[in-house]
Structures are given as structure tokens and as C-alpha cells.
Chain A
Amino acid sequence: MAEQVLIRQGAEARVYKTTIDGRTAIAKQRFSKKYRHPELDKKLTRGRLNQEARSLKRCKEHGICAPDVIRVDKESATLYIEFISGPTLKEWISGSTDEHEQGELMDVVGQILHRMHSHNIIHGDLTTSNMIINDEPVLIDFGLSQISPSAEDKAVDLYVLERAFISTHPDSETLFARVLEAYRRDDAADAVLRRLEAVRQRGRKRDMTG
């Protein structure tokens, strides 16, 4: 195995840059969390590794830009995927001042999310750090993903992104609105956006009885 350089230590995994079969790759190694019951820990670590690999492959099958899966190592809970260069969407937005360009990029993001949801892929952790701007935006970090046809799950998926947008980029309501506009491509998308409104209301309407 080629040398690994640690580029990030997240809450769940260490991310290394490395080479495999001559390709520049990312090795994402999930580690055990000691605070969790060992059975729960194993279920989550394995489950998320498999889910991530499965969703990445599914994206590729349906023409959604995602890194190639190179190898899955269950023993070490490590996922080897293609290295994608480029800034995250978060970095891109922070560094951009061209409103026109921003709007156009949001259109593309909305279309990609629509395509993903139309194949019932729920990302589960959409943030502006989980999209890399290459030629097209590339989605990464599918550890919390699932397959689901439900409008509720898709709405929650968008809600998570909306909250991430607002907490990371203040005054970004217009940008996110662009994403949703581009997402609204058909009746199914309409249904999801209506559910989104209900999900938002739940956040504002938490009551204490029951």
C-alpha cells in the first residue's frame, strides 16, 4: 500500500490521500467510537461503510457525478474512492462575488439533487462541504444515505441542506431558493417541496404536550 497522508479527521473517520493502482485516491477509514455500545458501533460503522459504497455506485449508474469506488475493505472499515480535486461548494461560495455565476451554479446543484432524488437516493447529510466543484458539482460523503421513495425523506434531505446553508452562509436564502427552483422540475418534485414546508413548520412549532 502506498503512503497515506492524513488530510482530515472528522467526527467519524480519518480521511487520507493515497495512491492505488496508480490512481490518486482517498482512503476514508471509519473508526470505532468508544462511547457507543460495541454492537451499535459495529452496526453503524459497517452499515455506513456499505451504504456509502452502495450509494456511490448507484449514483454512477444513474449519471450523477460521484467519486468512483475503488475498493471496500471491511476489515479495516476503509473505503477507497477516486480523489476529486476542487473546492467544496462551501469554499466556492465564500470565495465568489459574481452573483450571476452563483445563481447558475445553484441551478446546476438543484438539477443534480432532483436527479438523485428521482432515483430514490437520499443523501442524508447534504451540506456545502459535501459537494466538490469540479467541472460539475460532485457529491461526496454518502455515509448516512439510504434508498427511499418517500417524499418525506426527500424533503428532510433538502431541509438538512437548507439548515446547513443558512448556518454556514448567512444571508444565503436567495441562493438556496435558486436551488429549490431548479429542483422543481416535475410533479414529484412539487410534492417534495410541499412536504418541505411541513418539515420546516415542525421545527418552528415544537410543542411540549404528548
Chain B
Amino acid sequence: MSAAETGAEARTIVALGLEGSANKLGVGIVKHVYPTGVPGDAELRPEMIEWANVRDTYNPPPGEGFLPRDVAAHHRATIIMLLNQALAEAKLTPKDLHCICYTKGPGMGAPLQSVALVARTLSQIWKLPLVGVNHCVGHIEMGRAITGAENPVVLYVSGGNTQVIAYSQQTYRIFGETLDIAIGNCLDRFARVLKLPNNPSPGYNIEQYAKRGSKYIELPYTVKGMDVSFSGILSFIEKLAKTEADKYTPEDLCYSLQETMFAMLVEITERAMAHIGSKEVLVVGGVGCNVRLQEMMGQMAKEREGKVFATDMRYCIDNGIMIAQAGALAFARGFTTPIKDSWITQRFRTDQVHVEWRT
């Protein structure tokens, strides 16, 4: 039936997305098309067209981590250039946009704030509504859109987050998570101990070293119910690297660290799949780029007659278009964030979001 026959008006939403909760600053533009209008109670599945996805990463020198103050300075210095780049890439002007989506949280305070300031200012200049987006939900929605996974168990793994999530009744429920630090954080800190370069990311360099390792060194393995704990394995391997550097090569240490920590993640993901009866896994977040993790997850899924979905580095690493994606879905349902409510928050649980665009 055509739009004219049903009486529903075709609708297009063009959303700008701004992301800067950690050391990656991203600007993205997405277009959602609803040829027969926005469906009332049904799940929103617009035609999605990507128009821009640009990013710039702040990398400190090897052996150093990044501090919020320095990340915020990087974002402030770079965002206007990225905005212009994104609009040019999309061949759009501000008149073509419908909403400004930005990361409300979770993440680092000063960086989040610097991006939110720009979002609020643009919103007033261009007279467009603001849409505050949960960073994790951004990853999930982009993953779903790119891979087409129907209703997967989601493993969200990054520098700041490690969660096993499944959708239920308009909420992304957290089934399992880390009891202390995120896996990406653990990898980053170990990379610092080994003084690996931070470019393009510490985790990427650990992955390359691990590929050259082959000796399995026994490390603490900690799964508690559906949760995992990484602080024990981190302190153990940091000690090994410092006190027994003659006995174990960095390649073998990286190899063993990945094999052990990734096995923990695969285990809790599998438990969630068994618990809810799901056959699909979607891996999102920066650590999701890791090929070995994808391999191990794939092996587990195959044995259960299931399937793993993953995205490439355009989307698994923090980016602006995922914020536009999740924001546009919420916006289609009438969700906006008044400027006085557009404060940022370092803590924002994935399950606090009302997922109105799904049934």
C-alpha cells in the first residue's frame, strides 16, 4: 500500500551525531527513511543511509594513559573541523538536519561535557532539538543496523565497559558484567606495562603481539555466575611482566592474556545465550574489533548452531554515527532532550534507557 492509500505520511529523519565519551571524537550523519510513515506500535525499522562518519583519536605517548583533561582539550580543538568535514562529506547544510544527537553518558566527565557544549550551541543556532543518547545503546543499535542481527545476546566490550546484554520488554537488560574493571581497560593497562605504542590503540598492538605468541602461560580465570572479574588477572600478569621478563616473552604474555580473558567473555556470553535461549551473538565496542575474540565467539556459537555478528572498525570503535543512529530512532518516537536537561553524566546504565522503538 502506498503512503497515500494508508494515509500515513512518508517520513525522513536526518540526524547529526556527536560522540566523545573517551579518547575518540566522532561526528556522524545518518538518514532514516520511513516510506509508509513511522509505525505506531511496531518496531522501528527505517531504511538507513549513512552519510558521514568521521573520527579523530587522541593518543598519548607509549606507556601513558589518557587523562580526562587532555582528552577534553583534544575534543575542543578538533570538533569544529570534524563537523565541517562531516557536513562536506554528506554534502549537506544544517538546513537538511532534523536533530542534534549527542552522548549524554556514560564516560569521562570533561570530554563528555566539551561535546555536549557544542551540541547545545548548535541546537540553538540551528533551532534543532537535542537528543541525548546512551553510549552503549548507540553501540547496540549501530551493531543491529549494520549486521541485521534479529535479537542477539550482545557482548559490549570496550575500554570502559564489559557487559552482556539482552533485550526484553523495551529495556536492554544487563545479564552479566565485569565486577571490577572493563576488559579494554585491562588490555590498555597491560599495554602500558609493556610500553606498547598507543597508536592506533593499545588493544590493537596487544592483538598483534598475541598473534606472534604461542606459549600458554597459566593465568587466573575468574567467572562468578554471569559476571567476570579482571583485576586479579591484571595484577598477576603485570607482576609476571615485571619480575619474570626473562622467562616469558611479551608475545607469549599477550597471547595468554587474550586466550584467558576472551575465554571468560565467551563463557558468560554462552551462559546468557543458554539462559534466554538465543542463537545469536552481536559483539560491539572497541574490543569487538579483535579478530581472536571474534574467532572464539564464532567457535562457541557454531557448537550451539548459532551465529556471531560483528562490525568492522568503522563501527566497533566509538563513532558519531552510532549516536545519530540511536538518537534518530528515539527521535522518531518523539523523544527529545530539553536543553536544561542536557547535562552529561559519567554513569548511565544501559538498562536505564526506555527502548521505545522496539516492541
Contact = CB atoms under 8 A, between A and B. Distances in A.
A40 B267 contact: no
B300 A208 contact: no
A36 B347 contact: no
B68 interface: yes
A36 B258 CA distance: 11
B274 A40 contact: no
B68 A35 contact: no
B185 A210 contact: yes
A208 B182 CA distance: 8
B270 A11 contact: yes
A40 B160 contact: no
Interface stretch (B172-180, B193-201, B321-329): B172-180
B107 A208 contact: yes
Contacts of B124: none
A202 B180 contact: yes
Select the residue from A39, A127, A160, A167 with max chain B CB neighbours within 10 A: A167
Interface string A24-67: 00000000011111011001100000000000000000000000
A95 interface: no
A207 interface: yes
A40 B225 contact: no
A127 B332 CA distance: 39
Interface string B301-314: 00100000000000
A84 interface: no
Interface residues of B, number: 47
Contacts, number: 101
Contact of A39 (B160, B216, B297): B216
Contact of B303 (A34, A206, A208): A34
B337 interface: no
Contact of A210 (B181, B218, B224): B181
A203 interface: yes
B227 interface: yes
- Of the candidates A34, A127, A209, the one having the most CB atoms from chain B within 10 angstroms of its own CB is A209
B299 A205 contact: no
A204 B349 contact: yes
A33 B225 contact: no
B189 interface: yes
A160 B108 CA distance: 27
Contacts of B224: 124-125, 144, 156-157, 160
Contacts of B179: 156, 159, 199, 202-203
B170 interface: no
Interface string B253-285: 000000110010011001101100000000000
A163 B108 contact: no
A10 interface: yes
B159 interface: yes
A208 B22 contact: yes
A150 B154 CA distance: 32
B99 interface: no
Contact of A11 (B21, B160, B189, B271): B271
Contacts of A34: 299, 303
Interface of A: 10-11, 33-37, 39-40, 43-44, 124-127, 144, 156-157, 159-161, 163-164, 167, 199, 202-210
Interface of B: 21-22, 65, 67-68, 106-108, 159-161, 173, 175, 177-182, 185, 189, 216, 218, 221, 223-227, 259-260, 263, 266-267, 270-271, 273-274, 295-297, 299-300, 303, 346-347, 349
Top 6 closest pairs, chain A to chain B, by CB: A160-B225, A208-B160, A35-B299, A35-B296, A11-B270, A37-B259
Given A36-B266, A208-B21, A208-B159, 19 more contacts: A10-B274, A11-B270, A11-B271, A35-B263, A39-B216, A39-B218, A40-B263, A44-B221, A124-B224, A125-B225, A127-B225, A144-B225, A157-B224, A167-B173, A203-B179, A205-B347, A206-B182, A208-B182, A209-B65
27 contacts: A10-B274, A11-B273, A35-B263, A35-B295, A35-B299, A35-B300, A36-B259, A37-B259, A37-B263, A39-B216, A39-B218, A40-B218, A40-B221, A43-B218, A44-B221, A157-B224, A159-B179, A160-B225, A161-B225, A163-B225, A167-B173, A204-B349, A206-B160, A208-B108, A208-B185, A208-B346, A210-B189
